[in-house]
């Protein structure tokens, strides 16, 4: 579009404009486009030089025809004369409009009836969900906080020593009378060994002395001066048989005393192994890796009872609403990411928590003022893994209306969660594809 080149033997004065005519072929028709150009430079050597020219004057209509021809050649399309000629004469627009017939009007497309039905149904469902949400949040009693709880049992270290690893961790199931922890008290083990050694020493001492008395007749016998060699150097003395018999009785008393000590030490050693009091789940356990040392009374494990409907929901209700809640009153529990509510019944209403500690409820929440504790027994057993999970609770006063509102709300909530999940998955896939 800016110029052309041509082989020629003519000599041109640099910078001087000359008239040129471009000869173009289109559908076996040769067209001539007039323009003015000036020579720029010579390319190559020999008799016939290739001269480069630059357009200095080219009419807009001729430039448009040149542009169309160039684009057609570059795209590989056929250049026709009809395509280069305009489809109408700009000087006679009124005549053309009068002779042109009006196009036929397209009939309007009728929208199927089921679309209106689906739209009305969707609007009705949306209004129902919004109404149920408003009714649920305004008219139903909502506690300050609620969570899934279960009876808790804290296992304390019976003595000081190293904790033996029994390969129990949080989430493990334990059966009744199953070993839970074992504390290895080195001092207690040493005392037991010394007591057993002293008992064996006194037993042998009595047997040997009794044999010496029987063999000596009326002669004097050699008797040990002490029944406990660990208290000092061991010595011997010569005594008459009558006195030696008295000494045997003393050794027998010492032997019986050591036997009692052995029984006491063994009882303490056995007490250092604690067994499960129930069929429970381990909520927390102290790691025994590396020989962890514990003192007497240290908490080493926490068990949660999950049998006999022990898994319940505890809710803290404000004192202004507690008068509207009665025993056996119906309520609805909503677990996170659940698609349906779980009906429950009020088991007890108390101004203070039960004496038995419950796992899954933060202690700092219990310190709130002007609240009462309400325990709910779900009609459908809750999973043990849900202990400690915050839940949504609503107490009902009109069972039929409240039930309808709760189920409508939960259905809308399930649809919203499903759409949100699909949207999140689509966004993640799009983000992965873009990366």
Which CATH number is correct for 152-184+272-304, 2.40.160.40, 3.40.50.300, 2.40.50.100, 1.20.1250.20?
Answer: 2.40.50.100
Euclidean distance between CA atoms 394 and 392, whole angstroms: 7
Q: Both ends of the chain: CA-CA distance in Å?
A: 42
| Residue ranges matching CATH 2.40.30.170 in the chain | 127-149+307-418
Any residues with CB less than 8 A from the CB of 293 and at least 6 apart, and which? 160, 161, 162, 163
Distance of alpha carbon 128 from alpha carbon 134, whole angstroms:
10
> What are 89-115's pLDDT values in tens digits?
444 455 555 555 555 555 566 656 777
Tell me the two tokens of residue 424: 């999140």
What is the pLDDT, as a whole number, of residue 92? Answer: 47
Determine the topology of domain 127-149+307-418 in CATH: Elongation Factor Tu (Ef-tu); domain 3 (2.40.30)
Q: H helices within 217-359, ranges in order?
A: 241-271
Please report the pLDDT score of residue 5 as a whole number. 83
Positions of the chain with pLDDT under 70: 26-28, 44-48, 76, 78-112, 116, 125, 128-140, 165, 215-219, 221-239, 241, 288-290, 308, 339, 352-356, 397-419, 435
The model's pLDDT over 249-288, given as tens digits with 9 standing for 90+, comes to 777 888 888 889 888 888 888 888 888 888 888 888 887 6
Locate CATH 2.40.50.100 in the chain.
152-184+272-304
- Give the phi and the psi of residue 217 in degrees, each rounded to 5: 70, -115
Please, are residues 313 and 388 in contact by the beta-carbon 8 Å criterion?
no
Q: Do the Cβ atoms of 377 and 345 come closer than 8 Å?
A: yes
Residue 39 backbone phi and psi in degrees, to 5: -75, 145
Q: What value does the CA radius of gyration of the chain take, rounded to a whole number of Å? A: 52
d(CA 372, CA 389): 20
């Amino acid at each position: 579009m800016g110029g052309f080149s041509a082989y020629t033997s003519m000599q041109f004065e640099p910078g001087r404009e000359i008239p040129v005519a471009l000869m173009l072929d289109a559908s076996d028709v040769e067209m001539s486009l007039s323009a003015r150009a000036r020579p720029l430079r010579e390319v190559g050597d020999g008799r016939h030089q290739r001269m480069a020219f630059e357009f200095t004057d080219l009419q807009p209509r001729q430039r448009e025809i040149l542009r169309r021809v160039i684009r057609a050649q570059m795209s590989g399309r056929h250049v026709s004369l009809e395509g280069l000629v305009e489809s109408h004469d700009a000087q006679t627009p009124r005549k053309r409009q009068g002779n042109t017939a009006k196009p036929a009007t397209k009939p309007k497309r009728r929208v199927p009836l089921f679309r209106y039905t689906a739209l009305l149904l969707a609007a009705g469902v949306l209004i129902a969900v919004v109404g149920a949400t408003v009714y649920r949040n305004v008219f139903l009693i909502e506690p300050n906080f609620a969570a899934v709880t279960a009876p808790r049992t804290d296992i304390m270290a019976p003595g000081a020593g190293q904790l033996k690893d029994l390969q129990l961790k949080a989430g493990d199931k334990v059966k009744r009378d199953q070993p839970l922890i074992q504390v290895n008290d080195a001092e207690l083990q040493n005392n037991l060994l010394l007591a057993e050694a002293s008992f064996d020493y006194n037993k042998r001492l009595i047997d040997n002395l009794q044999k010496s008395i029987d063999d000596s007749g009326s002669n004097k016998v050699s008797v040990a001066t002490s029944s406990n060699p660990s208290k000092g150097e061991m010595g011997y003395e010569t005594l008459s048989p009558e006195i030696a018999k008295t000494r045997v009785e003393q050794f027998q008393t010492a032997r019986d005393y050591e036997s009692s000590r052995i029984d006491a030490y063994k009882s303490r050693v056995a007490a250092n192994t604690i067994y499960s009091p129930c069929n429970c789940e381990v909520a927390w356990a102290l790691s025994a890796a590396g020989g962890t040392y514990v003192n007497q009374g240290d908490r080493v494990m926490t068990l949660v009872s999950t049998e006999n409907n022990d898994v319940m929901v505890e809710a803290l209700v404000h004192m202004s609403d507690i008068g509207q809640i009665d025993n056996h009153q119906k309520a609805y529990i909503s677990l996170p990411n659940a698609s349906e509510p779980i009906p429950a019944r009020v088991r007890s209403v108390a101004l203070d928590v039960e004496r038995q500690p419950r796992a899954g409820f933060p202690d700092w929440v219990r310190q709130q003022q002007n609240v009462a504790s309400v325990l709910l027994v779900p009609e459908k057993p809750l999973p043990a893994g849900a202990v400690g999970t915050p839940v949504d609770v609503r107490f009902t006063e009109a069972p039929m209306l409240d039930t309808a509102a709760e189920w409508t709300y939960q259905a809308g909530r399930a649809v919203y969660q499903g759409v949100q999940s699909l949207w999140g998955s689509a966004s993640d896939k799009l983000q992965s594809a873009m990366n």
